[in-house]
Amino acid sequence: MNQQELIEHAKEAMKRAYTPYSNFQVGAALLDADGHVHYGCNIENAAYGPTNCAERTAMFRAIADGHKAGSFKAIAVMGDTEGPISPCGVCRQVLVELCAPDMPVYLGSLKGDFVKTTVSALLPGAFTTKDLHSNGG
């Protein structure tokens, strides 16, 4: 599975978005250690707050299906943006929790923009489990 293929999966996942409020569709494709792809889309809610982003949907699905935190190989995210899509702060925090720091993150747009980054580069100085335990917590 190369990065272009994973991006194509993210584009396919976009079509599953439930977005009656923003009409802004986002797709994510998370590659697991067995080479299988887990799709995520954004799922909105009339109360707005319960909305789940595509990235978190993909990660939560894979974890619920039995995949272990830190075992994933890559994630691709796609949206209809000017420039590569930029994951929100909440998703960056969840990426740090569930994916390895050096895991590749591919960010695309329907216009063909593309950047490759990593989980740790997306959230410098993240609060992690290490911070909790450094104080005896």
In whole angstroms, the minimum distance from the beta carbon of 137 to ligand DUR comes to: 30
CB 68 within 8 A of CB 94: no
Give the range of 31-39, 46-54, 61-69, 122-130 binding ligand DUR by CB under 6 A. Answer: 46-54
Tokens of 20: 């009656």
Task: Choose among 17, 40, 8, 13: nearest CA to 106.
Answer: 8
Task: State yes or no: residue 22 binds Zn ion (CB under 5 A).
Answer: no
Task: State yes or no: residue 91 binds Zn ion (CB under 5 A).
Answer: yes
8 is catalytic: no
Contacts of 114 (CB under 8 A, 6+ apart): 7, 84, 106, 107, 108
Of residues 57-96, which lie at the interface with ligand DUR (CB under 6 A)?
A: 77, 85, 87-88, 91
Give the range of 17-25, 29-37, 68-76, 116-124 binding ligand DUR by CB under 6 A. Answer: 17-25
